[in-house]
Structure 1
Amino acid sequence: MVDQYMFLIVEPDWDSDAYQGDSDRIEAEFPEFVVFERRVEELGARIVGGNALQSRKHGGTVRPGRDGRELEDAVWTDGASLESDEVITGFYLVEAESDEVAKQLAVGVPTGGHVESRKVFDFGGGQEG
């Protein structure tokens, strides 16, 4: 059975604005992501989703209000919720045959920080695998 794993890349925030619309620069400055993608294939796994996230200034945190999940009751805070110099800067969603393969892949995710690896819970509602 194939399971899905989410790899969250946690590291110091980055200047995503400096790379906006410049995919050639991204490929040139971050070749380790191509190496990781090849490793995924070598281990018989498959990337089914993933991307970089913009810097924390382009995000925020919302806490539902006391009276439910209505917009006017919500409390918004600019920036990421982590009380740290590190934020989630990107993610990969991969399918792998075993926890052992997922661990091998998690170790190879390029980062200047660390990777949080989580097995995706299967609700059994239409996902194959």
Structure 2
Amino acid sequence: MADQYMFMIVEPDWDSDAYGDQPGQIAVEFPEFEVFERRVEELGARIVGGNALQHRKHGGTVRPGAEGRELEDAVWTDGASIESDEVITGFYLIEADDVEIAKQLAVMVPTGGHIEWRRVFDFV
């Protein structure tokens, strides 16, 4: 049975707003993602999910409050963590037969930073 692996693309944030009304333009400007998707198939793995994430200004962080007051006492911050100039800009969820294939694919994910990858813990 194949395991699933999450590949998180960690790099400096990007100008997602520049593609707001032209999402198809991303494929034209970043053909390396199509190359990666072909390599996944060539190695016998499968892309289960994935996407680019909008610029950090379109999200934030939250620390839930104590039990029973998770929402009322939550602490909200605009944008991603200010501790780093790198954020998760996208992700792939890959299904692969073994960890060696997953490791090979993690190296091939296009990035201007690094990939954090993990095997998914299936608890369902």
TM-score under structure 1 length normalisation: 0.91
Aligned residue in 2 for 1:50: 50
Once residues 72 and 103 of structure 1 are traced to their aligned partners in structure 2, the CA distance between those partners, rounded to angstroms, is 42
Aligned residue in 1 for 2:34: 34
Alignment root-mean-square deviation, CA = 1.2
Aligned residue in 2 for 1:79: 79
Moved more, 15-24 or 65-74: 65-74
Give aligned-pair identity as a percent. 80
TM-score under structure 2 length normalisation: 0.95
Spell out structure 1 runs of 4+ moving beyond 6 A.
none
**In the alignment, does 2:112 pair up with 1:112?**
yes
Deviations along 1:95-129, one digit per CA (max 9) or x if unpaired, are: 00000000010000000000001000121x2xxxx
Amino acid at match of 2:59: G
Q: Could you tell me how far 1:89 is from its partner in structure 2?
A: 0.1
Aligned residue in 2 for 1:98: 98
In structure 2, the gaps of 5 or more residues are none
In structure 1, the gaps of 5 or more residues are none
Paired residues in the alignment total: 124
